[in-house]
Structure 1
Amino acid sequence: MTDTARVLPLRRPPIRRSTLVRSSADHTFRVFVDTIGTWWPLQPYSAGKERVDEVTVEPRVDGRVFETWHDGTEVEWGRLLAWEPPHRLVMSWTPTPAPTEVELTFAALAPALTRVTVEHRGWESLSEEQLARDCATPGGYVGGGFTRGWTTILGRLTAAVEQTTPEEHR
């Protein structure tokens, strides 16, 4: 087989979504981490749905991101691979059939304007069947379910940040 005849696997591009938030990067990051359980749309974007009491981000490398149910059950969403407040966090993402990775960046564009970007990557570890399987939003990776999901989640974050003041998180 010649080099030109070699077949390379198709790259599965990451999902990228972003939003602008009228707040500082520090405040936006802190709302994401400290109050994720109040603004994250648990219906349908959690394992426990109506059973979830809280969502916790353990603020350190290898810290867990997990939900806790009314009965004390804990379901891990992933672990922090990078922790750089207030600019960036990277976590493994285990709600997918095989672990993927989520990176969130918080870029200050002005004193009270932040671009939040999510990049969900690592789709190469999933089979074609897994990529097409419904996630919390119908369609999975192939059908745009994850793209729609991250758009919804970023919208909820934006609303939560803009409804609070930095003083509420001190």
Structure 2
Amino acid sequence: MTVQSDGSVHHEVLVDLSPEEAFWRFADLDKFKPREHNMLAVPIAETVLEQHAGGDVYDRGVDGSICRWGRVLTFDPPHAIAFSWDIGPDWQVATDLDRTSEVEITFTAAGPDQTRVTLTHRHIERHGTGWESLRDGLDAPDGWPLYLGRYAALTSTESEAP
């Protein structure tokens, strides 16, 4: 488990891209967010991370319905993206925004055309009762490791394309 002593979840991957390229590939969350992670009543047509602080993070269904599940807190190319996690321990959208956590992704040069992409999900305890099970789900293989694995595979595939 990659749970830190403060209860945050921490994962990282190394990609063969510059920090700027790594940042913009991550900002296109639609390319790697698992479609099976869906709170809509219909399949997801796209996932949108609005590219500015104050924007939304949401899934749009094939019927046009929208599920807003986060708010963009930081959008600082090529350094960091942060958004709120407005999904509670019941895996439903939280209505009390004081009971949400934060996800921060940073992009740090790790060598020539290599970037360390670090994801930290913090303040999970704000979700209240059941936050530990939420934390464990986020840290599980089908949580943040799945997202970062798909992101890393995408960057590897795209960087090799002609």
Short-chain TM bin: 0.7 to 0.9
Cα distance in structure 1, aligned partners of 2:41 and 2:146: 16
Identity %: 30
Aligned length: 147
Q: Which runs of 5+ in 1 are unaligned?
A: 1-10, 133-139
Mark the structure with the bigger radius of gyration: 1
User: Aligned partners of 1:86 and 1:125: how far apart in 2?
Assistant: 29
1:52 corresponds to: 44
Could you state the TM-score of these two structures normalised by the residue count of structure 2?
0.81
The structure-2 alpha-carbon separation of the partners of 1:163 and 1:81, relative to structure 1 and needing over 3 Å to count, comes to same
Runs of 4+ aligned structure 1 residues displaced above 2 Å come to 126-132, 165-168
Confirm whether residue 151 of structure 1 aligns to residue 151 of structure 2.
no
Alpha carbons 2:35, 2:43 under 8 Å: kept: no
Q: TM-score, normalised by structure 1?
A: 0.77
More moved, 119-128 vs 76-85: 119-128
Residues 61 and 12 (structure 1), Cα distance of their counterparts in 2 relative to 1, 3 Å cut: same
Whole-angstrom CA distance in 2 between matches of 1:167 and 1:29 = 18
* 1:92-137 superposed Cα distances (whole Å, 9 cap, x missing partner): 11122431110000111123111111110112213343433xxxxx
CA contact (8 A) 2:20 2:77 kept: yes
Secondary structure of the structure 2 residue equivalent to 1:164? helix
Query: Partner residue of 1:124?
Result: 125
Q: In the alignment, residue 54 of structure 2 is paired with which amino acid?
A: D
After superposition, the Cα gap between the structure-2 partners of 1:126 and 1:47, relative to the gap in structure 1 and judged at 3 Å, is: same
Secondary structure of the residue aligned to 1:131 is helix
Query: How far apart in 1 are the matches of 2:41 and 2:23?
Result: 24
The answer on whether the counterparts of 1:12 and 1:123 sit within 8 Å (CA) in structure 2 is: no
* Conservation of the 8 A alpha-carbon contact between 1:94 and 1:100: yes
- Structure 1 residues 19 and 84, CA, compared in 2 at 3 Å: closer, same or farther? same
Supply the distance in 1 between the matched residues of 2:86 and 2:126 (Cα, whole angstroms).
Answer: 12
CA contact under 8 A between 1:42 and 1:50: conserved in structure 2? no
5+ unaligned residues in a row in structure 2: which ranges?
A: 90-98
